[in-house]
Amino acid sequence: MKTFKTLEWIGDVDGCLELTDQRKLPSEFTAIRCRTVEQLYNAIKTLAVRGAPAIGVAAAFGVCLAAQETKNLELSDAKKQIENQIDYLASSRPTAVNLFWALERMKNKLSEIEEIADLQKSLLHEALKIHDEDIRMCSNIGINGEKFISEHSAILTHCNAGALATAGTGTALAPMFEAQKNGKNFKVYVDETRPLMQGARLTAWELKQSGIDVTLICDNMAGSLMKDKKIDAVIVGADRIASNGDTANKIGTYSLSVLAKAHDVPFYVAAPSTTFDLKIQTGSAIPIEQRSPDEVSNFMDAATAPEGIKIYNPAFDVTPAENITAIITEKGVIECPTKEKIEKLIKL
């Protein structure tokens, strides 16, 4: 089970945000402290902190960092300055909707504040609430999804949707931790997840730390395992879910969903209700982040491709709802997701 904190606010209103630096794992476990909005923006952009829920929580605390720079301002000027910093944080990564959800919630709290003396304390209180809610969300996703992990089954997961991606125990990994707590015996296959190897560096590390039986595979091995009936279910996370159930997640997830469907393997998405974006009708409207070509052409300071080669590096792809067996949320499970089922659950 989780024995580390992915992110934590240190101190009171004049404190700072401490993050596990995920760029260094698994070779080095170290933390960084963000004392300015600019430092946090860089941490999000460079994936020192990553995972949709964790990014949202970190951004909420980023608003608290912004408030620290307004001590000598009138309330109206302070609010304008903080709103500008909120917009700046929102520009860090375009796909994960939790970032925008958390910042919008902090902006709403900001609008309610009537006295400059209450500004920092009120914003920190709201950010801490978001943090604590994320922990409870992970726990409930684990409880709701544990039933999909049967005794002696083999689960495949992609990228990292564990404790490192949240303030709690994770989304896709939460059912696994819950199943372990309940004494179930099972194994997990982890895709390495090119190009940044989040599966190999982060998920495999997390599961090994927890004592779960984990096997690392290359991304292109998943289909062969399914063909040989070595995979009983796929559980992945999500960065944004459209109103019809189409789901954006780490690049390579769509391919897994196609393989799972072809081999009659259940394909589950685990995500909080805050990951749904009901303003987006289908996955085709989800913005897909394009990242640096260097992530593909180099790894750990070593060249992995010819210099000057053309490179295409989308960070995410979209899995259509018809490929998804069920979406596991903290509010319940949506089997064979549709727009109507999603709207019903979100209103709970």
118 given a catalytic annotation: no
pLDDT for 185 beyond 70: yes
Q: Is the pLDDT of residue 198 over 70?
A: yes
| Three-class DSSP category at 234 | strand
What integer pLDDT is reported at residue 4 of this predicted model?
86
d(CA 123, CA 66): 10
pLDDT (tens digit, 9 = 90+) per residue, 31-75?
A: 999 999 999 999 999 999 999 999 999 999 999 999 999 989 999
Structure tokens at 79: 């609010």
Name the residue among 317, 316, 152 with its Cα closest to residue 233.
Answer: 152
Residue 158 has pLDDT above 60, yes or no: yes
Catalytic residue among 232, 239, 277, 317: 239
What local confidence, expressed as pLDDT, does residue 347 receive?
86
Does the structure show a pLDDT above 80 at 1? no
* Prediction pTM value: 0.96
Taking residues 328-336, report their average pLDDT: 98
Report the pLDDT value the prediction gives residue 300, as an integer from 0 to 100: 80
pLDDT at 79: 98
Share of the chain above pLDDT 70, in %: 99
Q: Who's near 327: CB < 8 A, 6+ residues apart? A: 238, 241, 245, 247, 268, 269, 270, 271, 333, 334, 337, 342
- 260-to-242, 253, 306, 323 alpha-carbon distances in Å: 21, 10, 34, 8
The neighbour count for residue 273, using CB atoms within 10 Å, is 19
Three-class secondary structure of residue 7 per DSSP:
strand
99 and 86 Cβ atoms separated by less than 8 Å:
no
Domains of the chain and CATH, by start: 7-139 (1.20.120.420), 145-346 (3.40.50.10470)
- Say yes or no to pLDDT of 299 above 90: no
Residue 292, pLDDT above cutoff 70: yes
Q: Is 159 left (phi over 0), alpha (psi -120 to 50) or beta?
A: left
Residue 291 has pLDDT above 80, yes or no: yes
Residue 131's pLDDT is what? 98
pLDDT over 90 at 3, yes or no = no
Confidence at 2, pLDDT banded by 50, 70, 90: low
Can you give the pLDDT at residue 301? Answer: 83
Enumerate the H helices of the chain as residue ranges: 37-45, 52-67, 75-90, 97-112, 119-145, 174-181, 198, 204-210, 222-227, 253-262, 294-297, 339-346
- What average pLDDT does the structure give for the chain? 97
**pLDDT tens track for 29-43:** 999 999 999 999 999
pLDDT tens digit sequence for 92-142: 999 999 999 999 999 999 999 999 999 999 999 999 999 999 999 999 999
